[in-house]
Chain A
Amino acid sequence: MISCGFAERGLIEATRGSASDALRLELEAHLAECASCRDSGKAFGLLGALKAMPAAGLGSAAEARVVRALVAERGRGAPSEARRVRRHRAAIVGGAVALAGAVLAGGLGLHFRELPLAGRGTVASSITEGQRFEAARSGVVSFAGSSVTYEPGTVMSFFPSTRTVRLEKGEIDVDVTEHGPAHFRVVTARFIVDVPGTRFVVTPVGARTIRGLVRILDPEGHELSEVPAGSSWAVPATETPPSEAPRAALERAPAVVTVAPPTSRGAPPVPARSGAAASAPGAVRGEDVTLLLERARAALVAGDATRARGLLDRATAARPGRGARPAIDLLMADSWLVARRPDEALGAYRAVMQRHARTPQGETAAFTVCQLLVERGASGEAREALGDYLERYPRGRFVREARERLAQLDPSIR
């Protein structure tokens, strides 16, 4: 018997009138067995009936009226009422945009004096090597094939020759859209983010990948970890922050890094090989939930799921606040993945998704469920899960990836 996905495609073809007789027979056999596809068949049956109806038409009197109106309209040479309203509206909107632009430019001029261009999509070609900026307000700048969105208080320097941004303070959201001769890099005091092409957020104490894949390097250029979409990485709490970003890293040529295809969040994190994240976590100071979570993350990065679960159990016993619960549950679900127990992981992610639906962790869990189902080859379930994700989080962090996955999975539309 044909699959449900194939049956849906058959239903569409049958409604469009392009299904072969053989396909119709297989379709009928499938519909007799499958209640879900039978429901789809009802919708398509009605659409088919709608299609079979004669096309709407205007009577001859109505047609004559329309022609008369068109000729009169054209003869007047004046815009219709609707067009006048639209032009008026466009003028108002245009004026407002221009005013907002002027205010924004003025504001940036005052608060972000040295940044030559700060409009979305503009190319800051006049940024010179090592130029340092301090932002008083949020904004966006295009730099070396990327769009860098900065928060107030951000202090950063740009190095166009090596496609590098040095972040000293604050937070930047980087969307790397173009490939260049070198990987895009963000250097902070304690680590370097090396980017084949993706979108991510960096603060001096960690990075979060929104799309694609980034690599975390230590200041010497050794790889610490890979952070796939939906995951984050943080500097271990035990490390003392250096006072300044490593200038040597900026002067050095970009390290040769093999560009791996973006992996799913569901894949176990790559164990850190050296540097900050690989160093043994320090002693627990009391039962500080934040510290326990940091240590659990470090244990997961090192591939030690059992230790991570122990730390998470202690965090749970320490009566965490409402804000910490989603993080604990998500890390617990991650631990099952690291332990290579996908069934338990899937159940745990589903629980996080339902229990903490309104939190970022709930959204991450919902998307991870989709990815796990895709990797399992359960395309029907994955389609439903992706559909649910997009319905629940229409402006979510993984919308673009979810749409692409859904388009790839939907065999009914070619």
Chain B
Amino acid sequence: MRRPAVTAPREIPANDPSIAGCRAGDAESIAMLFRTYGGMVTGIIGRLIGPTPDLEDLVQTTFVEALANIGRFRGEAKLSTWLCKIAVHVAHHHLRAGRVRRHVPLELVGTDRAPLPAALVVSGGVDHLLDSRHLAAKLHAACDRISPKKRIALLLFVLEEKSVEEIAALMRATQTATRSRMYFARRELRKLILKDRELSAMAEVLLGERQGLEQGEDR
């Protein structure tokens, strides 16, 4: 079943008084803008960058940029689309600077024991949380070795379920270039996963479990 990657926020129309309030620097309007779109922006940046202690700063930067330029928002696109574009640019700049901090709390650092893939899929307990965070950190660390443009194109397509046209518009690229970036990102990610023993083992178990689950459903 298809489900939206990020819960769509309630849209603020372009002619809403809160937009004018944001332009004027009204505290209540700014708080409303953040309450409405903060979750969406955090989700997008979190998915593109991965676990990082800089998440809060990046979200703040996105809104600072948005508020500084809200005078130029003409309402031709939805406010969420406009903010999404800014978030993608902020994430891209951060990745391009090559200063992504991969700080993982001590209790989440991987151990030598085998991972618990079953918990990844079926349970919602503490083990699941710990292992999924570990997996996310490992996978994004692998993605750090892919160029930011390729990585963002792939993650927007797979995780955010954006279409090629949307990604091209968000990244100011042609559709051909976007497809090409996604192709290379997939190819590089596959190589990186195969090189990394832990990720490869996790993936193998995940794949086996998925097949097992589907066979079970068939029966």
Q: Which residues of A contact B (CB under 8 A)?
A: 8, 12, 15-18, 24-25, 28, 31-32, 38-53, 55-58, 62-63, 65-67, 69-71, 73-75, 77, 79-80, 82-83, 383, 387, 390-391, 403-404, 406-407, 410, 412-414
Contact = CB atoms under 8 A, between A and B. Distances in A.
Contact residue range for chain B? 35 or more
B12 interface: no
Specify which of A32, A62, A65, A414 lies most central, judged by the most chain B CB atoms within 10 Å of its CB. Answer: A62
Contacts of A52: 120-121
Main secondary structure of the interface of B (DSSP, over half): helix
Contacts of B179: 406-407, 410, 413
Nearest to A65: B56
B59 A50 contact: no
12 contacts: A16-B158, A25-B214, A28-B214, A42-B190, A46-B193, A49-B135, A56-B55, A67-B34, A403-B177, A406-B180, A410-B183, A413-B157
B132 interface: yes
Given A17-B1, A40-B190, A62-B56, 14 more contacts: A16-B2, A16-B158, A17-B2, A17-B3, A40-B186, A45-B210, A55-B42, A55-B43, A65-B56, A66-B63, A67-B34, A73-B64, A387-B183, A390-B184
Interface in B1-45: 1-3, 5-7, 22, 25, 27, 30-31, 34, 38-39, 42-43, 45
Contacts of B25: 71, 74-75, 77
Nearest to A57: B42
A66 B64 CA distance: 10
Main secondary structure of the interface of A (DSSP, over half): helix
Specify which of A12, A25, A71, A387 lies most central, judged by the most chain B CB atoms within 10 Å of its CB. Answer: A71
B159 interface: yes
Nearest to B192: A43
B55 A58 contact: yes
Contact of A70 (B30, B43, B55): B30
Nearest to B138: A46
A74 B207 contact: no
Interface string B186-219: 1101100110000110111011001100100000
A49 B159 contact: no
A381 to B, nearest CB: 14
Interface in B131-152: 132, 135-136, 139
A404 B176 contact: yes
Contacts of B207: 31, 38, 41-42, 45
A2 B75 CA distance: 45
Contacts of A40: 186, 190
Given A15-B158, A51-B159, A406-B183, A83 B135 contact: no
Nearest to A17: B2
Contacts of A47: 139, 158-159, 189
Contacts of B161: 16-17
A46 B184 CA distance: 17
Contact of B42 (A56, A69, A80, A82): A56
A65 B31 CA distance: 11
A46 B203 contact: yes
A79 B64 CA distance: 9
Contacts of A12: 157-158
A55 B46 contact: yes
Contacts of A31: 207, 211
List the 6 closest A-B pairs by CB distance, nearest first: A56-B46, A42-B203, A55-B43, A74-B25, A45-B206, A407-B179
A75 B26 CA distance: 8
A278 B140 CA distance: 61
Contacts of B157: 12, 16, 413
A32 B59 CA distance: 43
Contacts of B42: 55-58
A77 B194 CA distance: 51
Given A47-B159, A56-B43, A70 B67 contact: yes
B164 interface: yes
Contact of A49 (B22, B34, B132): B132
Contact of A50 (B43, B159, B186, B210): B159
A57 B202 CA distance: 25
A379 to B, nearest CB: 13
B47 interface: yes
A387 B184 contact: yes
B170 interface: no
A246 B145 CA distance: 57
A148 to B, nearest CB: 25
Given A43-B203, A66-B63, A413 B164 contact: yes
A47 B59 CA distance: 23
Nearest to B31: A67
A70 B194 contact: no
B122 to A, nearest CB: 11
Nearest to A53: B132
Nearest to A76: B25
Nearest to A66: B60
A404 B68 CA distance: 38
Contacts of B132: 49, 53
Nearest to B43: A55
Nearest to B57: A66
A301 to B, nearest CB: 33
Contacts of B186: 8, 40, 43, 412
Contacts of A66: 34, 38, 56, 59-60, 63
A79 B184 contact: no
Contacts of A71: 25, 27, 30-31
